[in-house]
Homo-oligomer: A and B are copies of this chain.
Amino acid sequence: MSFSVTILGSGSAVPTSRRNPSGQLIECSNRYFLIDCGEGTQMQLRKFGVKFQKIDQIFISHLHGDHYFGLVGLLSTMHLMGRERKISIYGPVGLKSIIIGQLDRGGSKLSFQIHVEEIKPNTSTVLFEDEKCSVRCFPLSHSIPTSGFVIEEKSKEPKLMYEKAKKDGILIEYYHRLKKGEDIMHDGRLILAEEYTETKSKPKQYAYCSDSGYQELTIENVEGVDVLYHEATFVEVLKDRAIATYHSTALDAANIAKKSGAGKLLMGHLSARYETGDLHLKEAKTVFSNCQVVKDGERYVID
């Protein structure tokens, strides 16, 4: 199964020629999720060769413009390109009226249905779930209600140990039930599923945390994720500014990664004042070595 994130925008509120406002495409077992949709996201999707009609779920973290000003434009383009399939959008209270209002003002009627599910402030819940993956949200610490998201690729079914089952004379009709983890009583003999199946692999998880100041609640919510994307708007010399604006420094992001036991840390949402992410990387590595500052257009495999 495939699980990856493509960075569409890794800048903060003021876009630069190097970094677009926030946007990420998550591909998880052939589900395509868009997280945040800053201005220009549709151009970035096109630039990086993403077939954006595949996106069926969009998650908006909060209502600062650099996280959603590209949303209605993207929906309009999907419409003009003949989309018929429903799209689901999850975001803060108020998002629905913005979308409906802008479409109405333009006299636009989309060719497809949109389902907007608003997330109340301070909510932790599963927003999307099917047989392949799930997306849950939890509250971040920002100046307006903001959600972080964790995407989980569900465990594969346990694998049956065919040779052993055959050798021990287990009836074929029991194979399916054993794979589902069911123990079976046959002719007075207990056949244990765990003896005939290989252990499940741990479900892979990716977490998205932007925008947010440092908070312990994030650590609980992203515990053990394989890859953590955490905003790092500033470096330590601007710690006061980070606190005042409910943003993080690179060191904050690294501490969250370390304390949560994340496998890898990706940092983004860099302030326009930084030409490169070198300082961020240097500071973060003092605490958590497996980290990287992302760039627009890069794709990271979650493994």
A: residues with CB less than 8 A from B are 13-17, 20-21, 39-40, 42-43, 46-47, 63-66, 69-70, 72-73, 76-77, 80-81, 94, 98, 101-102, 105-108, 143-144
Contact = CB atoms under 8 A, between A and B. Distances in A.
Nearest to A64: B106
Contacts of A15: 42-43, 46, 77
Contacts of A21: 73
Contacts of A40: 39-40, 43
Contacts of A73: 21, 39, 65-66, 69
A107 B246 CA distance: 13
A77 B12 CA distance: 11
Contacts of A14: 77, 80-81
A58 to B, nearest CB: 16
Contacts of A13: 76-77, 80
A237 to B, nearest CB: 19
B106 A65 contact: yes
22 contacts: A13-B76, A14-B81, A16-B46, A17-B46, A20-B43, A39-B42, A39-B43, A39-B70, A40-B40, A65-B76, A65-B102, A65-B108, A66-B73, A69-B69, A69-B73, A69-B102, A98-B101, A98-B102, A98-B105, A101-B101, A107-B143, A107-B144
Nearest to A12: B80
A73 B76 CA distance: 18
A80 B40 CA distance: 18
Nearest to A16: B46
A87 to B, nearest CB: 16
Contacts of A43: 15, 17, 20, 39-40
